Amino acid sequence: MQLDPASGWCHGVQVCPSPNFNERPAGEVSLLVIHNISLPPAQFATGKVQEFFQNRLDVTEHPYFAGIADLRVSAHFLIERDGKVTQFVSCLERAWHAGVSVFEGRETCNDFSVGIELEGTDDLPFTEAQYQALVVLTRHLQKAFPAITVERICGHSDIAPGRKTDPGPAFDWARYRAALAQEEGQ
């Protein structure tokens, strides 16, 4: 995996372009937001997240889909349970992942953040492969966008408290941060 800072696209990952993005107002990338998603909820490797981010989800396939039928959302990346990384939006563009959000008093986090979705739920442990891929991807993002310091990595629940709960209590922040610190020291 290699992130091209000039294009904002990662080489060596699957690319699945989403139409759900627009231009960043200032071009700044200084925050990383960790999410979780599974479609249908708690079902994995269905391909439905990719369809959802591309506005191709067949809402008749599952009752849950009717409630999200009108949403137009995306993230920059999805890390599946097996560690496979898919990119939907260039890191230089604004993906629609955070919604109404605030970080350190600054609203509209989509304007200046990269969003990574982990395939999962709030209460099911994430996989070793996901943590490994997340650490590698984070390091590439930090190299391309030095303003994304460890202090500027957060969960969706941190920037939209009361509205969002992901990545949830099953996400091991201590493990992730320790792995980043170890990588940094090498």
Tell me the C-alpha distance between 74 and 49, whole Å: 9
SS3 content of the chain, % helix, strand, coil (to 5): 25, 20, 50
Burial 69-96 (b: 16+ CB within 10 A, else e): eeeebbbbbbbbbeeebbbbbbbbbbbb
β-partners of residue 11 are 2
What is the SS3 assignment for 52?
A: helix
Catalytic status, residue 80: no
Q: How many CA atoms lie within 13 A of 31 on its CB side?
A: 24
Tokens, residue 109: 């986090």
Catalytic residue among 23, 61, 80, 117: 117
Cis preceding linkage at 25, omega within 30: no
Residues 101 and 159: beta-carbon distance below 8 Å: yes
For residue 173, report the phi and psi dihedrals to the nearest 5 degrees: -60, -40
List the catalytic residues: 117
